[in-house]
Structure 1
Amino acid sequence: MSKPGLNTLKPGANYFAKELDSFVSSTDVVLLSTNDSQIFSDPERQYKVIHEFDGFFEHSSDDGEKYFREKKAYVVEKV
């Protein structure tokens, strides 16, 4: 399993919610979960990384334009 201080997640690997919590707190990433807002409610629940993206498009409410953000994004699902 992974160690504290993760700097990346691997697609196909499982992680405890507490590991994902630490990862998100220390890394500039986006984490999308199929478990809605309950991802951190049980620190021992495991999640599998389904997809990894190098970036995403984001709509700016300031100017109405869409911009590509080069920022890691991961999709995880409850195991």
Structure 2
Amino acid sequence: MTQHRLSDVEVGKNYKAKELDSFVSTTDVLVLSNNDSQLFTEPEREYKVVDAFEGFFEHSSEDGEKYFREKKAYVVEKV
């Protein structure tokens, strides 16, 4: 099987689920999808990267505080 390794994705471009799977597996990122938990269930399904952020706020259940995490986050929608 051919490897589909991506080191980066671009807003506005389409990618197959198997390409995004490889990207997430090799890069420290967060991916939000409108396809619920089925993002990687159909390897050939295409997704469009619709937005990217340099980080996000996360609530800590340990101390109740909110922290900004500097971790690239991408929003994808199924095409």
TM range (shorter): over 0.9
Which whole-Å deviations, capped at 9, do the CAs of 1:30-54 have from their partners, x for residues lacking one? Answer: 0000111111110000000000000
Distance 2:49 2:32 in 1: 10
**TM-score between the two structures when normalised by the length of structure 2:** 0.93
The CA RMSD measured in Å over matched residues stands at: 1.1
Matched, 1:21 2:21: yes
| Structure-1 residue corresponding to 2:64 | 64
Distance 2:27 2:65 in 1: 26
> Percent identity of the aligned residues?
70
| Structure-2 residue corresponding to 1:46 | 46
Distance 2:58 2:39 in 1: 23
Gaps of 5+ in 1: none
Tell me how far 1:8 sits from its aligned partner.
1.4
How many pairs does the alignment contain? 77
Please identify runs of 4+ aligned residues in structure 1 that moved more than 6 A. Answer: none
Gaps of 5+ in 2: none
**TM-score between the two structures when normalised by the length of structure 1:** 0.93
Distance 1:22 1:6 in 2: 7
